Structure 1
Amino acid sequence: MRSKANVTLTALALAAGSVMFSAPTASAAASCSDSGYTATHEPMERCTSLSNGILYNKQVSGTTVYTTYSKTEGTTVSVRLGYTYNGSTTYSSYFSISSGQTVRKSWGLSSSAYCKSMIGVLNYSGGTFQTPSTHC
């Protein structure tokens, strides 16, 4: 019964959008080329190297977009993650992140958004950073 409840709670969190904190893990977001590609070099995964971490954006399954920030150095900051699609930017609420943490935010999209141009964004009091556009 407990696993069924966990599956239900996970599904509800994904449907509503969620913020996940974790320690950095070895992943495609662990490195970012100068041309804005992850180690997979797939156009549906794009990234930007920042002086204090990596901002990463990925479209998956045709109905989900993830924006991830892995903070590698510096003091704790308050930021929000988002994505830009079709001229409109959607943001999470602000949260604090410290060096050594990774935060991933996900949003459910309609299937018509799949393969369309999307940009991952990180916003803070001093401005905004963005990834190159994902595409097919």
Structure 2
Amino acid sequence: MRSKTNATLIALAIAGGSVMFSAPVASAAAYCSGSGYTATNEPMERCTTLSNGILYNKQVSGTTVYTTYSKTGGSSISAKLGYTYSGSTKYASATSISSGQTVKKSFGLGATAYCKSMTGVLNYSGGTFQTPATHC
């Protein structure tokens, strides 16, 4: 019986630890400084605060960029998330985003894009918005 109890406690500890490890990733998009930095304060993660949410861009590894929008208020919108790099903008297909919802899109890049200047982009009927440029 003791080993079953220990196994249960270990499983709960592991599950609790995984929640703790994932929390900073989610909270990074929830904070955006006036100078366009997330809570990590790293140039590879930049953001901009909009009237009804936060637009967030993050370069990862050298071959992936993530654009995320956390909608904090207002009506639902149909929007496209994307990124601009080297004068070209690429978008994912349009998706509906409601207040309280966070939508994240990932884009594959060539290895030569790593550390290069790029911005996250949100496009919808109300206009196009972008983050400050990420870089190394």
Please indicate the TM-score interval, normalised by the length of the shorter structure: 0.7 to 0.9
- Distance (whole Å) between structure 2 residues aligned to residue 118 and residue 49 of structure 1: 17
Give CA deviations for 1:111-132 in whole Å, capped at 9, x if unaligned: 1000000000000012100000
Partners of 2:77 and 2:92 lie apart in 1 by: 15
Q: How does 1:20-31 map to 2 (within 5 A)?
A: 26-31=26-31
**Unpaired runs of 5+ in structure 1?**
1-24
- Residues 112 and 26 (structure 1 numbering): CA distance in 2 closer, same or farther, change over 3 Å? closer
How many residue pairs get aligned? The number is 112
Cα distance in structure 2, aligned partners of 1:45 and 1:132: 9
For 1:35-74, what aligned pairs fall within 5 Å after superposition?
A: 35-74=35-74
CA distance in 1: counterparts of 2:59 and 2:130, whole angstroms: 15
Q: For structure 2, which runs of at least 5 residues remain unmatched after alignment?
A: 1-24
Kindly state the Cα deviation for residue 101 of structure 1 after the two structures are TM-superposed: 0.4
* Two-structure CA RMSD over aligned residues (Å): 1.0
Q: Report the Cα distance in structure 2 between the residues aligned to 1:60 and 1:70, rounded to whole angstroms.
A: 19
Letter in 1 for 2:123: N
More helix by share: 2
Aligned to 1:108: 108
Take 1:52 and 1:36, find their aligned partners in 2: how far apart are those partners?
16
Q: Given residue 71 of structure 2, which amino acid in structure 1 is its aligned partner?
A: K
TM-score under structure 1 length normalisation: 0.80
- Alignment partner of 1:27: what SS? helix
Give the 5 Å matches for 1:70-89: 70-89=70-89
Change (3 A) 1:39 1:76: same
Determine if the alignment matches structure 1 residue 126 to structure 2 residue 126: yes
- Structure with larger RCO (C-alpha < 8 A, sep 6+): 1
In structure 2, the CA distance between the partners of 1:47 and 1:95, relative to structure 1 (3 Å rule), is same
Shift of 1:26: 4.0
User: Per-residue deviation at 1:41?
Assistant: 0.3
Match of 2:4 in 1: none
